[in-house]
Amino acid sequence: MSRKTHHRACHLCEAICGLVIETEGTQIISIKGDKADPLSRGHICPKAVALQDLHTDPDRLRTPVKRVRADGAADQWQEISWDEALDTTARRLAQIITEHGVNAVGIYMGNPSVHNYGMMTHQGNLFQHIRSNNRFSATSVDQLPHHLTSLWLYGHKLLIPVPDVDSTDYLLMLGANPLASNGSIWTVPDVKKRLQALTDRDGTLVVVDPRRTETAHIASEHLFIRPGTDALFLLALLQTLFSEKLTDPGRLATFTSGLDAVATAIEAFTPEFAAAHTGIEADTIRRIARAFAAADSAVCYGRMGVSTQAYGALCQWVIQLINIATGNLDRPGGSLFASPAVDTVQTSSPGGHGRHLSRVRGLPEFDRELPAACLAEEISTPGAGQIRALFTGAGNPVLSTPNGRQLDSALESLDFMVSLDPYINETTRHADIILPPTSALEHDHYDVSFHVFAVRNTARYNQPVFDKPEGSLHDWEIFNQLGNRLAALLGKPAQPATPPHEIIDLGLQMGAYSGQGLSLETLRQHPSGLDLGPLRSQLPQRLATPQQTIRCDTPEAMADLQRLFDAFQQPDAHALRLIGRRHVRSNNSWMHNYHRLVKGRDRCTLLMHPDDMAAQRLSAGARATLSSRVGSVEVAVEASSDIMPGVVSLPHGFGHVRPGVRMQTAVRHAGVSCNDITDEQYLDVLSGNAAVNGVPVTVRPA
């Protein structure tokens, strides 16, 4: 049996690192970094090596299953044919839509869906027949403030500029840990070497975070900050830039407006006001502002820690204004927009906000999706528009959205639930039918999403590593076949089964590099990918706003300043605040069933500062009860001087303890779910994003 060499982009995080995979028959012999990949340059992390575990996992479903309920006994799962699975699903969805209206069907799409291009290109084949107001996704427990800010300032939800790390002189980073995440809303493989190159050339990396993270350990400077106060710190920086006349938009001034109005509106957000709440001294804030303004090039970047908090949208808005006011937007060494070969900015809707509200709490939609924090109540609250059926795709919201126990309970009350997923996990165990797609290595791959946020313009397309098994369906085929069945029942026309690679080929030939003859066939001839050049200035032409201008004094954000100011008129009365943390071997809740990624010491521990432990008479390794308004979990405590006093940290995505979960390795490393104590009522009012960082908690000996 001969060995074969395959080229592949890893789909397990946003870095999309190039891989060289050697196989012999149906066995994977080795997985290595592709040194010829122009973006990742041979970099690889442990997740990529675990692709073989995902592919061969005995717990991964290969055929559709239906749940058989048994009185007084555990539910059973029965394998069924694709025809039965798709026919039953279409019939039940059509019945519920006919009897209760289209809003009676809810949709939740999870994080892995954006890592799989077939799900991106073809989900509309089904959802065009389910134009429900009750759509949800992982976006609103993650990056919604980024998209909202980009819609306000640049006219499109996907126009998110990224740090030009390879050229900058000064990088100010808040709430981000790219050494663990490989970049987030910032496709930056081999990030450690890139950051070390920054400091080696006498550049400056300043990390602001309640924890001294892996990234903070290699930074020029780390500043502790109290969770949830980042907006005060950022506004104090901007206020200093204005008050000390350090702003200089440069060429941006010809197509921006409103900076003067912003300067007036934030006069009260002084470094002294911020210092009283952030824990960062006023003199330090002024020093950072002056150094940022004085640098030849600089960029401010904030990620999860500043997005998933009560002022997430304000944080992201001010970050953009800092870059604009100092002339660092759209310039080398500052923040730049990518020029992807398949440009989803051109092919997708710009997004919108507040066009309809959730039925129970009146929370605003964004891009036709409601905040995930209100999913449970929309299922459990009776009345017109109540969710009676739910479709989930590649998602596990019981573990990944606030107050997971509440959602866990609500799912049992549904009339019907179907999940497109390869696992019986904490969420899909409630489904009536599970539709498992092929393994990622059994279909081709083009990354639609993350080239939009990449630090360099590249493109790559890869063929499947293994043949598609007989009797299986790719996810795009599931969407297409299910959509056509539902269309027939609703009296609508069917859609042709256009394969996703044909859609990508069309996108390449119509994109920014069409004049260079770029096509899918070109990429087939270059399996390690093509280098399309560094990021470059593109404004104002790239803007999607009216008259291609940037209005800095965004009315919604300006109005929200008062909420922020009023909230901090008194010191924080809560002794402890909860934050999450990321590990390079993990990504949300979907990577705990692979031995290579969970081996070693227990990572699901509660980090506490030794002073806080002493106050609660806790010793290292002791069990503690961590509690919030919505519930409690019992977890082992780990002492760390890398955590700020008054802050505790618990990783995300664990808690594989619920009955009926069929993920053997994950269950053996169950841990606890931080979302059993995050609060669905605690969110960013402006955007609707969940505030899973900064949750008030108490810790007591178990």
The CA distance from 371 to 613, in Å, is 35
pLDDT of residue 574: 83
CB 10 within 8 A of CB 16: yes
pLDDT in tens, 21-70: 999 999 999 999 999 999 999 999 999 999 999 999 999 999 999 999 87
Give, in order, the Cα–Cα distances in Å from 201 to each of 64, 76, 165, 197, 198: 55, 61, 12, 6, 6
The helix/strand/coil state of 506 is: helix
Mean pLDDT check: name the lowest of 45-54, 292-301, 559-568.
45-54
Query: Residue 128 CB: number of other CB atoms within 10 A?
Result: 13
Whether the Cβ atoms of residue 141 and residue 308 lie closer than 8 Å to each other? yes
Amino acid at 39: L
CA atoms of 15 and 46, how far apart (whole Å): 13
| DSSP H stretches of helix in 423-542 | 475-489, 500-510, 520-524
Q: Are 424 and 57 in contact (CB under 8 A)?
A: no
Alpha-carbon separation of residue 457 from 34, 183, 297, 531, 575 (angstroms): 17, 16, 21, 6, 46
Instruction: Show the tokens assigned to 653.
Output: 């995505």
Contact (CB, 8 A) for 233 and 274: yes
Q: How confident is the model at residue 183 (pLDDT cuts 50, 70, 90)?
A: very high
Q: Give the pair of three-digit tokens for residue 52.
A: 């073989």
Residue in the structure block whose two tokens are 């009750």: 134
pLDDT confidence of 1, banded at 50, 70, 90?
A: low
Average pLDDT of the residues in 644-656: 96
Tell the burial category of 502 from Cβ atoms under 10 Å away from its Cβ (0-12, 13-18, 19+). exposed
For β-strands 353-357 and 65-68, DSSP reports them as unpaired
Q: Which segments within 214-325 are labelled E, that is strand? A: 221-223, 256-257, 298-302
DSSP 403: S
**Does residue 642 have a pLDDT over 70?**
yes
Residue from 284, 23, 308, 7 nearest 138 by CA? 308
| Buried/exposed code over 205-218 (b: 16+ C-beta within 10 A; e: otherwise) | bbbbbbbbbbbbeb
Residues contacting residue 60 through CB under 8 Å, at least 6 positions apart: 54, 422, 423, 436, 439
For 391-403, write each residue's pLDDT tens digit: 999 999 999 999 9
- Cβ–Cβ < 8 Å for 323, 329: yes
Q: Mean of the pLDDT values across residues 105-126?
A: 95
Distance CA 698, CA 505 (A): 54
Sign (positive or negative) of CA dihedral 636, 642, 646, 647: negative
Tell me the residue type at 181: S
453, two tokens: 């946020």
Supply the DSSP symbol for 534.
E
CA atoms within 13 A on the CB side of 640: 19
**DSSP secondary-structure letter at 326?**
T
Which helix (DSSP H) or strand (DSSP E) does residue 309 occupy? none
pLDDT score recorded for residue 323: 98
pLDDT band at 91; cut points 50, 70, 90: very high
Q: Is 596 exposed, middle or buried (0-12, 13-18, 19+ CB in 10 A)?
A: middle
Q: Residue 571's pLDDT is what?
A: 83
Of the two residues 24 and 1, the one the predictor is more confident about is 24
pLDDT at 406 over 70: yes
- Quote the percentage of the chain above a pLDDT of 70: 100
For Cα atoms 616, 621, 623, give the angle at the middle one, nearest 5 degrees. 60
> Is the pLDDT score of 73 beyond 90?
no
Cα-based distances in Å from 620 to 612, 634, 635: 12, 14, 12
Give the separation between CA 300 and CA 288, rounded to whole angstroms: 11
Q: Which of 242, 255, 261, 240 is nearest to 329 (CA)?
A: 255
Instruction: Report, as an integer, the average pLDDT of 584-593.
Output: 86
Question: What's the rounded mean pLDDT across residues 676-686?
Answer: 97
Q: Which two tokens stand for residue 403?
A: 């107050």
Provide the pLDDT for residue 658: 95
The reported pLDDT for the residue numbered 158 is: 98
Distance CA 334, CA 650 (A): 33
- Domains (range + CATH), the chain: 3-56 (3.30.200.210), 65-141+344-532 (3.40.50.740), 144-339+539-562 (3.40.228.10), 570-701 (2.40.40.20)
Farthest-apart Cα atoms in the chain, separation:
73
Average confidence score pLDDT of the chain: 96
pLDDT at 279 over 90: yes
Encoded amino acid at 281, one letter = E
Count CA atoms closer than 13 A to 441's CA, side-chain side.
24
Digit-coded pLDDT (tens) for 320-378: 999 999 999 999 999 999 999 999 999 999 999 999 999 999 999 999 999 999 999 99
Residue whose C-alpha is closest to residue 460's, from 13, 12, 4, 19: 19
Per residue in 368-393, pLDDT (tens digit) is 999 999 999 999 999 999 999 999 99
Per this entry, what is the length of the chain? 702
pTM of the model: 0.97
442/438 Cα distance (integer angstroms): 6
Here the tokens at position 651 are 């990783």
